[in-house]
Amino acid sequence: MTYTVGSYLAARLAQIGLKHHFAVAGDFNLALLDQLLTNEETEQVYCCNELNCGYAAEGYARANGAAAAVVTFSVGGLSIINAIAGANAENLPVILISGAPNTNDRATDHLLHHTMATSDLSYQLDIAARITCCAVAITSPDKAPSQIDRAIRAALRESKPAYIEIACNIAGAPCAAPGPVSSLLAQAPSDADTLEAAVSAAADFIKARKKPLILIGSKLRAAKAEPAAQALAQALGCPVAVMAAAKSFFPETHPQFAGIYWGEVSSPTTREIVDWSDGLICIGTLFNDYSTVGWTSNPAGANVLTLDIDHVSLAGHDFSGVRLAEVLDGLATRVEANPTALNELHRLRAAPAAVPEAPPEAKLSRTEMMRQIQGLLTGDSTVLVETGDSWFNGMNLALPEGARFEIEMQWGSIGWAVPATFGYAVGAPGRQVIAMIGDGSFQLTAQEVAQMIRRKLPILIFLINNRGYTIEVEIHDGPYNNIKNWDYAGLINVFNAEDGEGLGLRAGTGGELAEAITRARGNANGPTLIECALDRDDCSPNLISWGRRVATANARPPQPK
Ligand code: DPX
Ligand code: MG
C-alpha cells in the first residue's frame, strides 16, 4: 500500500487505539478528511462546532486514553483552543489536527480567506505551541512521518495535547509507510539510581510516621498508576482519601477508602483524619484555589511526601525523572503495614444516614433528585458532572465498584459537559453514561445533544434547571447571574427533526422524576434529557461554604510591596 501524509496519520491514530476521531469540515481540511476516511479502523465522528469537537475529543480521551480532533484553519483552529487548553490542564492527550493553507501561498503576498487579511499564517501554530506539549506544521511529505510521530509520541508520554498542522496540498501527497507503533507507545523509563534514591527516601519518610495516610489526586490517571497506588495502599493498610478531581480513581467500596478530601467541604470525618495524620502521602495531587477552598486547606511542609507524575519531593529531597508507577511499585515492596489511622477513622466514622424518599407529589428537591440518581448507579456507570452545583452534588454519590466519575475541575469551563459526555459515550460503548449539567452551562454547547441523537447513544442527562448561575450566586451575586429560561426538554424534539429518537422530559416532583427515569431506561436508541426543576436557592450546603471561602480569596486586596 502507498501511504499519503493523511493516511499515514490515520494509520498512527488507529495504531494508538483511536477507533474514532472527531471532526468539523472546512476547505483547508477536506483533502485530509478524505485521507483519514480511507482507514477503516478509525471512524470519523462529526461535531456541530469546533469547541464542541475539542470537548468531545477530551471526553473520549477520558474513556479511551487518547483522542484526536480535526478542524479547519483559523476559524476552526482558534475556536477549539479553549477545549485543547482544557485538555492540557486536565492532563489528557488530545491530538489537535488542523488543515492549513496551500504551501504555494506561503511566502507570497497572497491574502487568504479565514485569515485576518494579512499574510501572517503562523499565528495558529504559535498559539497551539503555547497550549500543547508539541506543535508541528507539516509542509513537506518527506518530513511528515517524523513530525507526526514526534507530536503523537510527546502527547502520549506527557499525557498532554499535541498539535499537527497539515497544509491542504500536502495531505494527499505520498509519503513513507509507518514503522512499528511501539516507538510511540514506549514510556521513558525512570533513571535507575534516582528511582532507588527516591524510593528509599520516601520509604524512610513513611517508616518514621506514626499515622501515615494516602491522598490521591487527579494526576494519578495521567500517570497510568491507579493499580500501583492500590498496591501501595494495600501494603500500607492506611486510609486513602481522594481529592474531588480524582473521585473514582480509588475504589469507594475499598475498605481503606476514607472519603473525599476537599478542605472544609470534605466528606464527613475525612478532613479530620487527613489533618490528624502526621505523614500525608500525596499521590498525583494538585492544589489550587478551588481544591484548597480558597487556600484554607493546603497540605504542605515536613509532614507531606509528594509523589508526582515524574518526581518525588519531601523535606530536604527532590528527585526528578522518575515515573510514578515505578515509585509506587518500589514503595509497595518496602513499606510495613500501619493501620493506625485506619483504626482511628473507624472510630470516628458513623454509618451514613439513609436519605428518606420524598412524597412523590412534593416539589422536586435537590436531595430527592440526588437520591434517585444514586439509585441508578451500577458498576458500569460513568457520571460526568459539569462545573456548578453538580460538582458538589456529585461528590456525595457513593460509587459502586467499577463506576467512574468525570469532572473538569482544573479547567472548569462551563459548556464542557454536553460534548465531553458525547465523546465519552462514543469511547465507552456499553457503559451507562449519566451527566449532571446545570441550565447555564447547557446553554453554551447544547447543540451537541444532536450528535448524541445522530449516533443513537442512550445517554441520560439530568438538566438541573435552577434558573441561573447558582455557583456564581454563592461566590458573588448580581444581575449577571440570571439567565434566560429555555424549554430544555422541548429542545430535544428540535434536534430529533425527522429521524431522531431523543427524549426530552420534565420533572417538577419526585414522582415525575421517578417516572421520567423509568421512561429513560426504556429509551435505548437515543439520549434522554430530564429537566429537573429546582428552586433557585436549593443548592448544596457545601457549595455555600466553599463559595464564601473562594469569594474571600478572590477579594484579597493587593499586598503592599
Ligand atoms: C459560571 C458558572 O446553571 O450551574 O449549578 O446553577 O451553578 P449552577 P449552571 O450551569 O451555571 C454555571 C455557572 C458562569 N462560571 O454558575 S460555574 C464562570 C464561567 C466558566 N466557564 C466559562 N465561562 C464562565 N466557568 C466558559
Ligand atoms: Mg443553574
**Nearest CA to 471 among 267, 296, 265?**
265
Residue linked to cell 450566586 = 473
Q: How far is the CA of 457 from the centre of ligand 2 (A)?
A: 25
For ligand 1, say whether the CB of 471 is within 6 Å of any of its atoms.
yes
Question: Which H or E element spans position 499?
Answer: none
**Nearest CA to 408 among 397, 420, 396?**
420
Which atom of ligand 1 is nearest to 473's Cα? 16
Question: Which SS3 state, helix, strand or coil, does residue 474 take?
Answer: helix
pLDDT of 108 over the 90 cut: no
| Mean pLDDT score, 203-231 | 98
Which of 289, 366, 370, 387 to mutate to test ligand 1, by most ligand atoms within 8 A of the CB atom?
Answer: 387
For ligand 1, say whether the CB of 440 is within 6 Å of any of its atoms.
yes
Label the pairing between strands 304-307 and 311-314.
Answer: antiparallel
List the residue whose alpha carbon is closest to atom 24 of ligand 1: 414
Question: Which SS3 state, helix, strand or coil, does residue 432 take?
Answer: strand
| Mean pLDDT score, 126-142 | 98
For ligand 1, say whether the CB of 413 is within 6 Å of any of its atoms.
yes
**What does pTM read for this prediction?**
0.98
The CA distance from 94 to 149, in Å, is: 14
DSSP 334-394: T-----HHHHHHHHHPPPPPPPPPPPTTSBP-HHHHHHHHHHH--TTEEEEE-SSHHHHHH
Tell me the one-letter amino acid at 23. Answer: A
Which of 58, 82, 290, 441 to mutate to test ligand 1, by most ligand atoms within 8 A of the CB atom?
Answer: 441
* pLDDT tens column, 22-42: 999 999 999 999 999 999 999
Q: What are phi and psi of 435, to 5 degrees?
A: -120, 140
Q: Where are the alpha helices (DSSP H) in 404-540?
A: 417-427, 439-445, 449-454, 470-475, 488-496, 510-521
Tell me the one-letter amino acid at 173. Answer: A
* pLDDT tens column, 507-561: 999 999 999 999 999 999 999 999 999 999 899 999 999 999 999 999 999 988 7
DSSP 101-151: --GGGTTS----TTS-SSS---HHHHHHHHHSS-EEEE--TTTHHHHHHHH
The CA distance from 237 to 336, in Å, is: 9
* pLDDT tens column, 402-438: 999 999 999 999 999 999 999 999 999 999 999 999 9
The CA distance from 423 to 448, in Å, is: 10
And the C-alpha cell for 78?
Answer: 482558534
pLDDT at 477: 87
The CA distance from 451 to 261, in Å, is: 36
For ligand 1, say whether the CB of 439 is within 6 Å of any of its atoms.
yes
DSSP class of residue 488 equals H
Other beta carbons less than 10 A from residue 422's beta carbon: 32
| Whole-number percent of the chain with pLDDT over 90 | 94
Which atom of ligand 1 is nearest to 539's Cα? 5
**Ligand 2 being an ion, which residues bring their Cβ within 5 A of it?**
438-440, 466, 470
Q: What are the beta bridge partners of residue 544? A: none
Biggest CA pair distance of the chain: 76
Q: How far is the CA of 445 from the centre of ligand 1 (A)?
A: 12
* pLDDT tens column, 358-385: 999 999 999 999 999 999 999 999 999 9
pLDDT at 33: 98
Q: What are phi and psi of 157, to 5 degrees?
A: -70, -40
Q: At what angle do helices 226-236 and 324-332 cross, to 10 degrees?
A: 20
For ligand 1, say whether the CB of 393 is within 6 Å of any of its atoms.
no
pLDDT at 351: 84
E-assigned strand segments in 239-356: 240-243, 257-261, 279-283, 304-307, 311-314, 317-320
DSSP class of residue 535 equals -
pLDDT at 474: 83
Which listed ligand is nearest to 539 at the C-alpha? 1
DSSP 152-194: HHHHHHHTS-EEEEEETTTTTSEEPPP--THHHHPPPPPPHHH
C-alpha distance from residue 95 to each of 16, 136, 496 (Å): 11, 11, 31
The CA distance from 503 to 34, in Å, is: 34
The CA distance from 256 to 73, in Å, is: 50
Q: What are phi and psi of 290, to 5 degrees?
A: -75, -45
Which of 471, 486, 543, 546 to mutate to test ligand 1, by most ligand atoms within 8 A of the CB atom?
Answer: 471
Q: What are phi and psi of 417, to 5 degrees?
A: -65, -40
* pLDDT tens column, 174-215: 999 999 999 999 988 899 999 999 999 999 999 999 999 999
The CA distance from 465 to 446, in Å, is: 14
**Nearest CA to 221 among 131, 286, 129, 314?**
286
pLDDT at 350: 85
Q: How far is the CA of 465 from the centre of ligand 2 (A)?
A: 6
Which atom of ligand 1 is nearest to 412's Cα? 25
> In which band, very low, low, confident or very high, does the pLDDT at 251 lie, cut at 50, 70 and 90?
very high
pLDDT at 476: 86
431 Cα distance to chain centroid: 17
Which atom of ligand 1 is nearest to 390's Cα? 5
| Mean pLDDT score, 252-271 | 97
For ligand 1, say whether the CB of 472 is within 6 Å of any of its atoms.
yes
